[in-house]
Amino acid sequence: MNYLLAPIAALGRVIITFITETGSILILLFLALRNSLRRPYRFKLILEQMEFIGVNSMGIITLTGFFTGAVFALQTGKVFRLFNAEGYTGMVVGISLVRELAPVLTSLMVAARAGSAIAAKLGTMRVTHQIDALMVMAVDPVNYLIVPRFIATTLVMPVLTAYFDFIGILGSYVVGVVLLGINEGIFVYRIEWMVDVGDISHGLIKSSVFGALIAIISCHKGFYSGGGAEGVGRSTTEAVVLSSISIFVADYVITALVI
Amino acid sequence: MIDVQDLHKSFKQQVVLDGASIFFAEGKITTILGGSGSGKSVLVKHIIGLLRPDSGTIVVDGQDLETLDDRELLQVRKKFGYLFQDSALFDFMNVFDNISFPLFEHTRLKRSEVQHVVAEKLRLVGLAGIEKKMPSELSGGMKKRVALARAVALDPKIIIYDEPTTGLDPVMTDTVNDLIATTQEALGITTIVISHDIRSSLRISDFLGLLNEGKIVEFGTPEKVQESEHPMMRLFLAGIERAPVSKS
Ligand SMILES: Nc1ncnc2c1ncn2[C@@H]1O[C@H](COP(=O)(O)OP(=O)(O)O)[C@@H](O)[C@H]1O
Ligand SMILES: [Mg+2]
């Protein structure tokens, strides 16, 4: 009997964990949203976080953006050449970048860099009682720690994504026009013809949602971290994994809804 | 004045407080003694409203915490200073930013006034002039004293010390005990000390309470408590008598 029930019990535990975890993240999201409207407004902390999450991610976004555009142009350019259609390379790269690749890859980079840092920082503060210290000093830790990170990530993601768009197209231009010798005028004209403001804002809005997800998941993992230094390490890994998965799921859901 | 009546608190199956009652007199030093894991920290976390009881009442300055919402609890917390066992200084801020943190959060003092208060609190703990240092540059004892300066920055009416001398060497232990006593004298604040160090407790306390199996089983002045017949208290007291022997 036990042999039969064990897998069912295990499945039940997984489902329960999933539901409790999701519920707990949603509660924190609710607290963060409600708290963003409450005084004190911490503009200085928001700016600091924007710098940390945004400015410090520029380097890695530049590299990933450039090479994503470049390799994508290389692949499509090679295939389109078979049909004598390499003039369409820029347009295909452009639309894929702006609608999908830029928001998703930028978010993954931010999840890896900033999400892990957020979880590690809040986790360390939790296990060394710095969060308790905030509370006994009558400072709401959600207001002080979570709201600034949540707002900053949500605001900064579209900016980083727009930058990724630009650098990615630049990368595809270098490969397409300079290396593959595609006519510059056609390359640029096709991008302009295909990619409109709607496509760009579709990508930017998605990225903002991804930013909110990264922030709330990473804050949640860190904030409820336990079990000493080892626990903080585990929370950090979980923050990155869970943020990344949720980016892909949310991407599908949003895209399915608007298409 | 703080009055705790019949406090019950369990975490999942584990009963931690099982009808604890204790009284903290205004302007006095009261120590809660108890073995590690006996629930001393849990008890004081109820007093500042970090934990909510399963049942029982806590009255701080005439206010029943039960009846307060989260924002009113924040107001109550401003009456308290709390010194954590591990200091819990913000590791990303220097000493000045740590001590000035509650001042910038809760007062409208100008920067120059804040600098003045921080300097004064640092002098009180014997560490004048270390404003620019980061917590990582300080020894354990210094961290503790900076944390004390931060805890008294807002001139609290009540201060809670969670195991202030645990893990300190004997010299540092005496220094911290003196500091608790002088802080209490200088500022006249109601002082709550959590400890399992009976020797220090007998020296500095006006009252002692022994927490055992979720209840305060013994309470009184140091003289009275030393006469106690409670087996746990006898164990604590025997610890002092044994100490010189174990040295040889
Ligand atoms: N937030 C919590 N959740 C679950 N268990 C807790 C919590 N806080 C304390 N405990 C448990 O309560 C017991 C008493 O803890 P504590 O008050 O910290 O002991 P001490 O007397 O050493 O300060 C311990 O067994 C501890 O594991
Ligand atoms: Mg404790």
pLDDT tens per residue, range A22-40: 999 999 999 999 988 888 8
How far from B1 is each of A162, B59, B62, B192, CA to CA, in Å? Answer: 59, 8, 8, 11
Q: Give the model's confidence band at A219: pLDDT under 50 very low, under 70 low, under 90 confident, else very high.
A: very high
Q: Which residue of A has its CA nearest to B100?
A: A137
Q: Is B122 exposed, middle or buried (0-12, 13-18, 19+ CB in 10 A)?
A: buried
Query: pLDDT, tens digit, for every residue of B201-219?
Result: 898 999 999 999 999 999 9
Q: Tell whether A34 lies on the interface with B, counting CB pairs under 8 A.
A: no
Which residues have any ligand 1 atom within 6 Å of their CB?
B 11, 16, 34, 36-42
Give the residue-averaged pLDDT of B190-196. 92
Chain B residues near residue A135 by CB distance under 8 angstroms: 50, 77
Q: B32 with B236: CB under 8 angstroms? A: no
β B14-24/B80-83 pair status: unpaired
Closest CA to A144 of A29, A27, A45: A45
Q: A88 or B118: whose pLDDT is higher?
A: B118
Chain B residues near residue A139 by CB distance under 8 angstroms: 101-102, 105
Residue B243, pLDDT score: 47
β B207-212/B29-33 pair status: parallel
- Using the beta-carbon criterion (under 8 Å), do B77 and A137 form an inter-chain contact? yes
How far apart CA B237 and CA A195 sit, in angstroms, is 81
Give the residue-averaged pLDDT of B81-109. 94
Q: Is the pLDDT of residue A1 over 70?
A: no
How far apart CA B204 and CA B38 sit, in angstroms, is 22
Closest CA to B186 of B147, B163, B155: B155
Closest CA to B32 of B219, B230, B231: B219
Q: B171 or A1: whose pLDDT is higher?
A: B171
Q: How many residues does chain B have?
A: 248
A-B interface: how many C-beta pairs under 8 angstroms?
42
**Residue minimizing CA distance to atom 5 of ligand 1:** B11
Share of chain B above pLDDT 90, in %: 62
Residue B240, pLDDT score: 67
Peptide bond into A40 cis (omega under 30): yes
Query: pLDDT, tens digit, for every residue of A172-182?
Result: 999 988 988 88
Residue A22, pLDDT score: 92
Query: pLDDT, tens digit, for every residue of A183-198?
Result: 888 888 888 888 889 9
Q: B35 or A208: whose pLDDT is higher?
A: A208
State pTM to two decimals. 0.89
Q: Give the model's confidence band at A237: pLDDT under 50 very low, under 70 low, under 90 confident, else very high.
A: very high
Chain A residues near residue B74 by CB distance under 8 angstroms: 138, 140
Sign of CA dihedral A142, A148, A151, A156: negative
How many C-beta neighbours within 10 Å does residue B133 have? 15
Residue B175, pLDDT score: 84
How far apart CA A99 and CA A97 sit, in angstroms, is 6
**Residue minimizing CA distance to atom 27 of ligand 1:** B37
Mapping DSSP to helix (H, G, I), strand (E, B) and coil, where does residue A167 land? helix
Mapping DSSP to helix (H, G, I), strand (E, B) and coil, where does residue B64 land? strand
Work out the angle between the directed axes of helices B140-151 and B95-106 (0-180°, nearest 10).
Answer: 20
Q: Is the pLDDT of residue A107 over 80?
A: yes
Q: Is the pLDDT of residue B125 over 70?
A: yes
- Using the beta-carbon criterion (under 8 Å), do B106 and A136 form an inter-chain contact? no
Residue B241, pLDDT score: 59
CA of B6 to the centre of ligand 1 (A): 18
How far apart CA B146 and CA B190 sit, in angstroms, is 20
Give the residue-averaged pLDDT of A32-57. 92
Only one residue has tokens 């009456």, namely: B79
Sort residue B4 into left (φ over 0), alpha (ψ -120 to 50) or beta: beta
- Using the beta-carbon criterion (under 8 Å), do A139 and B80 form an inter-chain contact? no
Q: Tell whether B68 lies on the interface with A, counting CB pairs under 8 A.
A: no
**Residue minimizing CA distance to atom 8 of ligand 1:** B42
How far apart CA B176 and CA B139 sit, in angstroms, is 14
Chain B residues near residue A124 by CB distance under 8 angstroms: 91
How far apart CA B4 and CA A254 sit, in angstroms, is 53
Mean pLDDT of chain A: 93
How far apart CA A212 and CA A66 sit, in angstroms, is 25
Q: Tell whether A136 lies on the interface with B, counting CB pairs under 8 A.
A: yes
Query: pLDDT, tens digit, for every residue of A109-164?
Result: 999 999 999 999 999 999 999 999 999 999 999 999 999 999 999 999 999 999 99
DSSP state of B26: T
Give the residue-averaged pLDDT of B119-140. 93
How far apart CA A38 and CA A148 sit, in angstroms, is 12
Residue B4, pLDDT score: 95
